[in-house]
Amino acid sequence: MKKLFTLLMIVSVIVSCRKDDSSFDGNNIQEMYSDFMVLSTFKVDKDSIDFANGEKAVFSAQFNKPVSWKISIKGQTSKAEKIITGQTKFIDATNATWNGSTTVFPMFKAENCIAQLTIDGVADTFQVQTKVKSLKVNQGLVIADFENGFSPSWTKFVQTGANMDFNIKNDTLCPQGAKYLRMAGTVNWDYLIGLIDYPATAYGTTKTLNLSANPNDVYFNCLIYGESASNPSIVLFQFKEDENADGSINGNSDDQYDYQINVNWIGWKLVTIKYADLVTLVNGQPSTPKGNSQHNPDKIGKISMLHLADPSQGFAACKIDYIMFTSAPLEP
């Protein structure tokens, strides 16, 4: 019994040893619900931004309490939009720096922009003006942006269906540059509407694309516009590796990785995938690669881009632009 008493005493001493905490975690809730005041007005640090030379725009403001805020920067000509959000008492370089990238496509042009600040629970909005002097440069290997039309090195196949369109367009919907590709048609006997092959030789190499060998450092990106949700297009990219670099791709001994995009949205959207995350698909289902089963982006010999759709559902259409590889997810 004595041992038991000693043990209980030890436990009691331990239990009573924590100090009272006189601070609290996070933002002050009482302050969160107090009247809102602007302590420093909404500003931008540059009237004109030279993104091509690495310049960035920094927005700033200060409030009396933490708020959920949103800055919407809109291009007055392109109608491009960049959205930056945060939940802080202040807006500064740490949370509101704009590098020229776009959230809502098309991409920005050299144009005047208006940045509007809105705050949750506050009726007033705040505006500043700035100007894009030159565009952000995205580093990477561009497979197709259609600015120079169809390359003679590409191979195009289009089914002979109804209302077929596999042409480069030049209109206000263009998200990047001045041109994009529209792929559309009704093919009621086959999923395939059309395809384009992009061989590695079209990009200044003799056999395979000049990309990093590390599949975790290679990202595939493109911008896709969904036209209709009733018969969604399927855009299938096939990355065909030439593992022994013999200049030919063997379907039975070389790996092929696939990226199937079900275009079930309307409007432009950026799609990005790391090369290491690609899988081999057969009829849309994961399957085992036929080669060394290793992702080798530096051994891509050809990329095939297929436009597919359910033949029983009729007309399908989508638009595509700015197909490129980057070393990090593209921030166009």
Q: Comparing C-alpha atoms, which of 298, 113, 319, 100 is closest to residue 208?
A: 298
Tokens 């384009």 identify what position?
A: 196
Q: What angle do CA 72, 74, 79 make, to 5 degrees?
A: 135
Q: Comparing C-alpha atoms, which of 196, 192, 261 is closest to residue 223?
A: 261
Tokens of 112: 């005047």
Report, in Å, the least distance between residue 17 CB and other proteins.
Answer: 9
Taking the least distance from each CB to other proteins, the nearer of 118 and 151 is: 118
Report, in Å, the least distance between residue 138 CB and other proteins.
Answer: 19
Report, in Å, the least distance between residue 30 CB and other proteins.
Answer: 5
Burial of 265 (0-12, 13-18, 19+ CB in 10 A): middle
Where do contacts with other proteins occur on this chain (CB under 8 A)? 3-4, 7, 11, 14-15, 18, 21-30, 32-33, 66, 68, 87-88, 214, 216-217, 229, 282-288
For 310-332, the DSSP string reads: -GGG--EEEEEEEEEEESS----
Report, in Å, the least distance between residue 48 CB and other proteins.
Answer: 33
Report, in Å, the least distance between residue 11 CB and other proteins.
Answer: 5
Tokens of 23: 């601070």
Other CB atoms within a 10 A radius of the CB of residue 117 amount to: 22
Report, in Å, the least distance between residue 128 CB and other proteins.
Answer: 25
Taking the least distance from each CB to other proteins, the nearer of 28 and 163 is: 28
Taking the least distance from each CB to other proteins, the nearer of 28 and 210 is: 28
Taking the least distance from each CB to other proteins, the nearer of 77 and 212 is: 212
What SS3 class is residue 83? strand
If residue 193 lies in a helix (H) or strand (E), which one and from where to where?
strand 192-199
Taking the least distance from each CB to other proteins, the nearer of 28 and 112 is: 28
Taking the least distance from each CB to other proteins, the nearer of 44 and 316 is: 316
Tokens 């933490």 identify what position?
A: 66
